[in-house]
Amino acid sequence: MQIRDFDVDLFLREYWQKRPLLIRNPWNAWRNPLDPDELAGLACEEDVESRLVTRYAGGLAMESGPLAEDRFSKLNGSWTLLVQAVDHHSPEVAGLIEPFRFVPDWRIDDVMVSYATDGGGVGPHFDQYDVFLVQGLGQRRWRVGPRCDAATPLLPHDDLRLIVDFEATGDWILEPGDILYVPPCFAHDGVAVGDDCMTYSIGFRAPSRAELVEGWCEHQVDGLGDEDRYADPDLPIQSNPGEIAAPAIDRLHAMVMEALSDRDAFARWFGLHNSLPKYAETDWRPEEAVDTQEVRGLLAQGVPLSRNPASRFSFIRQGEQVILLFVDGHCFDCAGDLAGLAEKLCAGSSLVVDPGLSASAEVIGLIAALIDQGSLAFDEGD
Ligand code: SIN
Ligand code: CO
């Protein structure tokens, strides 16, 4: 599905990460991409992350999935079901990300889908991430408040981070196809108006400094030997032996900074780290390694390849010639024909490889490796 009359430049300049924006049905022809029953089915699956939030007289209660199949028939009153990463299971839901790819793929997290009965919602809260809330079915009243931070008072609750004094600055009823953009940390509260309310949250990610420092340091530490340590062959006499003198601090600090300052190594680590799959899904992994002759034949015939919607593809340029391709926690160094192929693999969810490349052992090797790890498959139309 396409969106029209949406000024991306204006959006990025005035709203992205700055302030909320309501976009009234910008789709060519909005169609709800997922049946509520399919969502309920996903919430019963072991490897799918889901939550059920029910409203009772005293507030909201949350239970984590997987839910028992008969759980839904026992529900009454206001409730909402939330299922994470539905784009990994439904190509139609994955298609909702496409219009938002003006934000680079590495910043995209997943599509969470909620289904609510009249009055259902998760309460006033704020998230650390940007989100486009697309109304799929039914109506939801969204109220948006000011930017919050760590000092914003929260209600004591075991599972939900609910804001104590939520005061709305914006208040809208969203109809199917309407989109609300909420930047990180802006308070928001969505309540279903009537039954059969479905909302699709296209969520983004932004690594925290703590996560980056921890991950990068841990990675670099693995490569450091025990003999790589502080040395002071030029040790001067100091007046007070109790002092850790400034030159020693300088040298210690430099040891740390040197070990962490390699930008190329950082880029390789970050690309890999960011491509790690959030949920270990193995559905696309073939039982036996793919036959390379078969790969050659299918490439020569121009059979299209599709990316697993759960896979994370990205690339980094390293120098003029080399591209590092990152897919689901694996890194492939690509030069020559492979570099062009790596860029195409990252540009869209499906591609036809130039049949002229089907004779290249390197190309076959890369495609076969991606098929074997469950990130790619030939789309033979079955
Ligand atoms: C919802 O879809 O009900 C919740 C989405 C959100 O507020 O993050
Ligand atoms: Co939220």
Q: Is omega for the bond preceding 309 within 30 degrees of 0, making it cis?
A: no
Cβ 203 under 6 angstroms from ligand 1: no
What does the DSSP assignment read for 2-38? -B-S--HHHHHHHTTTT--EEE---BSS----S-HHH
Query: Is residue 382 predicted with pLDDT exceeding 70?
Result: no
Q: What is the pLDDT of residue 333?
A: 97
Q: How far is the CA of 195 from the centre of ligand 2 (A)?
A: 20
The residue behind tokens 């991409």 is 33
Q: How far apart are CA 139 and CA 191, in angstroms?
A: 9
Q: In what order do the strands lie in the sheet with 305-307?
A: 350-351, 305-307, 376-378
Query: Is residue 168 predicted with pLDDT exceeding 70?
Result: yes
pLDDT tens by residue, 19-68:
999 999 999 999 999 999 999 999 999 999 999 999 998 899 999 999 99
pTM of the predicted structure, to 2 decimals: 0.94
For the chain, percent of residues with pLDDT exceeding 90? 92
Q: How far apart are CA 48 and CA 85, in angstroms?
A: 8
Domains identified in the chain and CATH numbers: 8-204 (2.60.120.650), 208-227+254-274 (no CATH), 292-378 (3.40.366.30)
Nearest to 373 by CA among 299, 311, 316, 321: 311
* pLDDT average, residue stretch 185-208: 97
CB 282 within 8 A of CB 374: yes
pLDDT tens by residue, 241-297:
999 999 999 999 999 999 999 999 999 999 999 999 988 777 899 999 999 999 999
Residue having the nearest C-alpha atom to atom 1 of ligand 1: 114
Q: What is the pLDDT of residue 271?
A: 98
CA angle at residue 156 from 129 to 190, to 5 degrees?
45
What does the DSSP assignment read for 42-68? HHTSTTS-EEEEEEETTEEEEEESSPP
Q: How confident is the model at residue 381 (pLDDT cuts 50, 70, 90)?
A: confident
Query: Is residue 156 predicted with pLDDT exceeding 90?
Result: no
Which atom of ligand 1 is found nearest the CA of 122? 3
Which atom of ligand 1 is found nearest the CA of 112? 2
Q: How far is the CA of 142 from the centre of ligand 1 (A)?
A: 10
The two three-digit tokens of residue 360, written as one number:
């290249």
